[in-house]
Amino acid sequence: MTHLDGRRSYDAPVVPAPPVPDPGKPGVLTLSPTGRRARLAATAVVLALLLGGTVWGNDSEFPFGPFRMYSTRADPDRPVVSTRVVGVTADGDQVRLSGGEVGLRRAEFEGQLPRLVDEPELLGLLAQSYAVHHPGAEPLVAVRVVQRRHALDDGRRTGEVTESVLIDHTVAATHQEGTP
């Protein structure tokens, strides 16, 4: 590049590097050989955990394991599963309990799904929460976890939708009253 006065950019004077601080001066700290080894060892451990987690880890080991939602690709022919929770009244009417109706968001609920399959009586707590948040509503006699599967073919919807009840829990009479 040529400046307006005719000088070229490489004609500029070279600025010398700043002097290296003397370790003997106050305010400048240097690591001892033991300190360097400790930092290198800590760095090696963190890198080993990251590498091991990347190869063998899963979501529960995050941040040392990969967050599979972002690190993998879903099979384009695998169905899309949508989970919802419904309460059933004595008349057979279904009341939506997912989507924050009982203070629990969908992602939080889906994260607890394996636990709910093992302990379906925990769904009674959702009925209690519903009774507290909707005091004038008809009491629930059952809580169901329903999964809807949308079939895909090469990543596109086929129109085929199937529903299945994953958990069907009868609510005890004490759960219908709610708790203050």
pLDDT at 23: 65
Residue finishing a domain among 70, 94, 129:
70
Please indicate, yes or no, if residue 26 is contained in any of the structural domains.
Answer: no
| The token pair that represents 9 in the structure block | 């950019």
Decide if 155 is inside a domain: yes
**pLDDT profile of the chain (180 residues), mean per 10:** 69 78 70 94 94 81 75 83 91 85 79 91 90 89 94 91 93 57
Q: What pLDDT is stored for residue 179 in this prediction?
A: 45
59 with 86, same domain: the answer is no
State whether 45 and 125 are in the same domain.
no
pLDDT of residue 21: 67
* C-alpha count within 13 angstroms, C-beta hemisphere, residue 123: 29
Residue 121 lies inside a defined structural domain of this protein: yes
Shared-domain flag, residues 107 and 165 = yes
pLDDT at 52: 87
Question: Do residues 39 and 102 share a domain?
Answer: no
Structure tokens at 40: 């290198």
Q: Which domain holds residue 100?
A: 80-177
- Say how many domains are in the chain: 2
pLDDT of residue 175: 45
Asked, for residue 12, whether it belongs to a domain, the answer is: no
Shared-domain flag, residues 44 and 112 = no
CA 88, chain centre distance (Å): 30
Distance between CA atoms of residues 125 and 119, nearest Å: 12
| Whether 162 and 92 share a structural domain | yes
Q: What is the pLDDT of residue 2?
A: 65
User: What does residue 158 show for φ and ψ, rounded to 5 degrees?
Assistant: -95, -15
Q: What is the pLDDT of residue 13?
A: 75
